[in-house]
Structure formats: structure tokens, C-alpha cells
Amino acid sequence: MINQSKNSHRAFVRAKYLPQSPPPVLAKGVIGWARENLFSSPLNAALTIASCCFLYLVIPPFFQWAILDAAWWGNSNKDCAGYDGACWAVVTARFGQFVYGFYPEEERWRPNLVLMLFVINLLPVLWDKMPGRTVAALFLVTGFPLVALFLLFGGIGLEVVPTPKWGGFMLNLIMAAVAIIYSLPIGILLALGRRSEFPIISRFCVLFIEFWRGVPLITVLVMASFMLPFFLPEGFNFNELLRALVGLTLFSSAYMAEVVRGGLQALPKGQTEAARAMGLTYWQSIRLVIMPQALKITIPAIVNTFIGLFKDTSLVIVIGLFDLLQVAKSSVTDTNWLGLEHETYIFVALVFFIACFAMSRYSLYLERKLDTNRRD
């Protein structure tokens, strides 16, 4: 009896681990994700149900109107009379004008070539796996604008196309690209100048930033277009588009300077002191230590400024330039396309959304790659 009692209390050690049990069905897959994100509380469940009801009431009728019952081709609104849905013929018939404005149709290969060269030159800058990033970035700032200007404007064997004929989405892209390319380096210099120990440089940068931030962009464009010629010597004048580009770039650089300055102030002083202790000069420490960290911190704010800048290019309508929005406005006032405001402005909104969404997704890619992102 004693031996049996001892054996019954002997410790047991398992030699092999039991296989892991699968998670409950309701805690994995689509059901688990829905329970955690959509039905985690009574309030979330109510909001989810209300959102689903709203989408059910909106999406099917819109899909029916925009896709299934829509008219896609035609030369006027009369060709859409037999359809119950949208009349996208206003977009397909005037698509070339939406994209190129009044640029001559036989010369549209030139802006297409500029866009192709821009994308090829931009890929090494955005994708670090491709070689030649530094050379591509320098060429993008210095050489490419001259090449693009020659191809778009013409001369030396090419037909001259004056800037008033530039328009459509092409004009929005040109203005946004120029302002983005130059506002970032100018903003970096202004941010460094504002933090400079030299009073003259610091105060000049402060005055510059506060002036451009305190003036509405519409006022800047109007002043650059209509008022600036009165202050220039007689017989001396700038191209209207060039004046708008300069004003837009300087306006954006002031906001970019404050974004970069926020990133510089977020860095501890120990970074600068460590760079100096290693024997680096001021510009070496800025280039190798300080600025990479500051720009990494401010990626969301920088891209947010770029997105706002891209949408602000539509304000050139106030100085008579025919961007995408102005072309859309002229389309809906055409007697052949009266009553098609919804289709026209939905198309314009979709174009702007795709462009801004692409910049936003690239920002998220950089945040994940550089570990600046904490939450998507």
C-alpha cells in the first residue's frame, strides 16, 4: 500500500510537446478580423451596420448610373438621349483637350516624350534599388527643365507652341512638378537659414517665410500675373506661366521651410554635438547626420504639403490659364454638352484623387521602409 501511494504522487514529465491547437474558428480569418475591427463593441457594431446600409443604398444605384446604363461615345449630348445613365461622351470626345488643353494635336508627341523622360529620370530618385540616384536628382533639378522647355515650347527645328496653348492636366502636372522639385531644396535652405546664428540670415529667412505664408495664393498669382509688369522696366517682361511658376514655388517653399524646421527641432542636440565631436564640418553634419533624420521624421508632412500644392495648381484659373478644371468648366458651357456637369466634374475629381492617392501611398511606402511609421 505504501509503494502504491508513493507511485500515485510521483511527478510526471512529458518528453514530447503536444502539437499546438488551432485557434478557434471565430478568432481567425475574415470572421476574426471582423470581430476585432468591426464588431468589437456595441457602438462599432452599430456604426458598421449603418455604414453597410448606406453603402447598399448608394453604391448599386451609382454603379448602375455610371457604368451599366452609361453612354460612352458620342459627339454631343443628343447622342446620350437614349440612355438612362451617365453621358461619358463628354469626356471621351474632349479627352485630348482635358489632357493637353489647346496644344496642337499633331505636336502632342512632345509632351508625351517629356512625360516619358520625366518618369525615366524620376525612377532612380524614388526607387533606391536603381543606380545613379544622385546624378538623376541633379539632372532633374538642372538639366531636365531645360530639355522639357525646349520640347514643349519649341524652336530650332520644332514648331513654336506658346504657353497660352498649354493647358489641361498637362498644365497641372507641369506646375506641380516644377513647384515640388524646387520648393523642397529652397525650403531646406530657408529652414537652415532661420536657425542660423547669423542675425541677418536668420531675420531675412523669417521675413521671407512669414510674408509668403501671410499672403493667399490667389493674391500671389494675381500679383505675379497682372501687377508685376507695372514694376518692371519698360519693354522687360516675363512669360505669364513663368511668373505663375515662380509665385507658386516661392509660396510653397515657405510652408516647406516650416515643415523641415519642425523636423530639425525634433532632433536632440546630441546629434549635432556628436557630429562635431567626430570632426565633421557644419555642412558635412547637415548632409550626413542632421538632414537625413529630419527629412525622415517629416515625410508625412512633406507629402501632405505636396498634395496640397498639387491641388492648388487649379487656382491658375484666376489668371486665365486653362488647366484641367478650366477646361472642364468650358466643356459644360458648350452648347453641345449642356447639362453634363456631374459627369465632367466627377471625371476631374477622379483624376485629382488618383494623383493625390498615388503620392499618399508612396509616402506610406517610405514610412514603412524608414521605420518612421507607427500606424497606417
Q: For 157-185, what is each residue's pLDDT tens digit?
A: 888 888 888 989 999 999 999 999 999 99
Burial class of 123 by CB neighbour count within 10 A (0 to 12, 13 to 18, 19+): middle
Residue 94's nearest CA partner among 311, 331, 341 is 331
CATH 1.10.3720.10 fits 89-103+161-370, yes or no: yes
The pLDDT of residue 346: 93
What was the pLDDT predicted at 32?
77
Domain boundaries defined on the chain: 89-103+161-370
Cell numbers standing for residue 169: 492636366
Residue 187 to residue 178: CA distance in whole angstroms: 14
Least confident among 10-14, 120-124, 203-207, 214-218? 10-14
Structural contact between residues 161 and 155, judged by C-beta atoms closer than 8 angstroms: no
pLDDT band at 357 (very low <50, low <70, confident <90, very high): very high
Q: Do residues 294 and 266 lie in contact, with contact meaning Cβ atoms separated by under 8 Å?
A: yes
What digits encode the pLDDT tens for the residues 316-329? 888 888 889 999 98
Distance CA 30, CA 78 (A): 48
> Would you call 155 helix, strand, or coil by DSSP?
strand
Asked whether residue 11 carries a pLDDT value surpassing 70, the answer given is no
Kindly state the cell numbers that stand for 222. Answer: 494675381
DSSP 25: G
Confidence category of residue 376, pLDDT binned at 50, 70, 90:
very low
